[in-house]
Amino acid sequence: MPRRFNYTDRQRILREHVSIRVVQEQGGGLSFEGAIDLSGYGISKKHPQARIFVEAYRGATASWKRFDFGSVDAISPPSDRSLDEFRVPEGILFRVRVTATDSEGVGRLVAEADGVRPQLPGDDAQAVQPLIQHMPADDIGDEVWRLDFTGEMPLLKINSRIAVGVDQFLMEPRYRAVFAPAVMRQILTWILLIDRFTGDEHDDEDWRQRWLRFAARLAGSDHAAAGDDSGAIEDWINLAVEGFAKRIRARSSFEAGGSA
């Protein structure tokens, strides 16, 4: 029988209270370490026996795995926190769910944090929040790259079969000069013309807002001045992409054949 869940009065767990780090094991496998601070939410008084689950997922590939972290009054990470099913760390996100069950067996989602980006192997723990994630992909046919918007942040999928390799494709100025402005244009178009995003400009956790702030610095103006006029929005996107291309010296990098 499917378990029923009541989502009423669900609390939002701030991402600053969830710390997750993906670890690359010596044998090449992946696992993670996690710490959750629920002390400021009053859950321990109302639902001390509520269960805590941590879920790892990657929206672009529908990969998903759940881990039981014990109860609110006795948080206990499981010994097996393997993420080998995900193959590579890039693009993995996490959610934390706190669930309680009433006398009728109805599960209640008490609190949740979703779209938590972990610290990846090699990341600087103090680094600023990224604008995009990337991962090797073997499901995009003969395309060299493809953007995926199904997760909590844009994911740049790069064909794992390209001869130069994913890392070189990302880092070599000649390649970056060609694909990076196109990636930016597609992301801004998705935010403003497809998703029609009108979110809170002060929400630093929303990736769309971070992209718009970044683009505004490059365009020299805020997108809001364009209003709802699609043509004006496209003009603003062009200004932002032109500013970005200038910043990375796209034309000279391409003409130099990678010796920027």
Do 145 and 218 sit in the same domain of this protein? Answer: yes
Do 54 and 11 sit in the same domain of this protein? Answer: yes
For residue 107, what are the β-bridge partners? 5, 101
Domain assignment present for residue 128? The answer is no
Q: What sign results for the dihedral spanned by CA atoms 248, 252, 256, 260?
A: negative
Do 10 and 112 sit in the same domain of this protein? Answer: yes
The total of other beta-carbon atoms located within 10 Å of residue 206's CB is 17
In the 3-class helix/strand/coil scheme, how is the chain assigned residue by residue?
A: CCCCEECCCCEECCHHHEEEEEEECCCCCEEEEEEECCCCCCHHHHCCCCEEEEEEEECCCCEEEEEEEEECCEECCCCCCECHHHCCCCCCEEEEEEEEECCCCCEEEEEEEEEECCECCCCCCCCCCCCCEEEEECCCCCCCEEEECCCCCCEEEEECCCCCCHHHHHHCHHHHHHHHHHHHHHHHHHHHHHCCCCCCCCCCCCHHHHHHHHHHHHHCCCHHHHCCCHHHHHHHHHHHHHHHHHHCCHHHHHHCCCCC
Q: What CATH number did the domain enclosing 111 receive?
A: 2.60.40
Instruction: Record the pTM.
Output: 0.61
Place of tokens 């869940």: 5
Do 98 and 175 sit in the same domain of this protein? Answer: no
Do 157 and 249 sit in the same domain of this protein? Answer: yes
Tell me what pLDDT residue 105 has: 64
Do 12 and 102 sit in the same domain of this protein? Answer: yes
Split into its structural domains, the chain has a count of 2
**C-alpha 144 chain-centroid distance:** 21
Domain's final residue, options 116, 150, 172: 116
Domain's final residue, options 66, 86, 116: 116
Domain assignment present for residue 126? The answer is no
Tell me what pLDDT residue 1 has: 41
Tell me what pLDDT residue 260 has: 39
Do 86 and 190 sit in the same domain of this protein? Answer: no
- Direct distance between the N- and C-terminal alpha carbons of the chain, in angstroms, rounded to an integer: 61
pLDDT in tens, the chain (260 residues): 444 455 557 899 998 899 999 998 887 789 999 999 999 899 999 899 999 999 998 865 668 999 999 999 999 999 999 998 888 887 788 999 999 987 666 788 999 998 888 888 876 555 556 788 888 889 999 999 999 998 778 999 999 999 998 888 988 888 999 999 999 999 999 999 999 997 776 676 788 998 999 999 999 999 888 888 999 999 999 999 999 999 989 999 898 864 43
Tell me what pLDDT residue 61 has: 62
Domain assignment present for residue 122? The answer is no
Tell me what pLDDT residue 134 has: 87
Tell me what pLDDT residue 7 has: 52
Tell me what pLDDT residue 86 has: 85
Residue 112 near residue 10 (C-beta atoms within 8 A): yes
Domain assignment present for residue 212? The answer is yes
Do 159 and 247 sit in the same domain of this protein? Answer: yes
Do 206 and 164 sit in the same domain of this protein? Answer: yes
Domain assignment present for residue 260? The answer is no
Do 100 and 138 sit in the same domain of this protein? Answer: no
Tell me what pLDDT residue 173 has: 87
Residue 153 near residue 142 (C-beta atoms within 8 A): no
d(CA 41, CA 8): 16
Do 60 and 31 sit in the same domain of this protein? Answer: yes
Do 177 and 211 sit in the same domain of this protein? Answer: yes
Containing domain of residue 244, as a range? 133-255
Domain assignment present for residue 127? The answer is no
Domain's final residue, options 68, 88, 116: 116
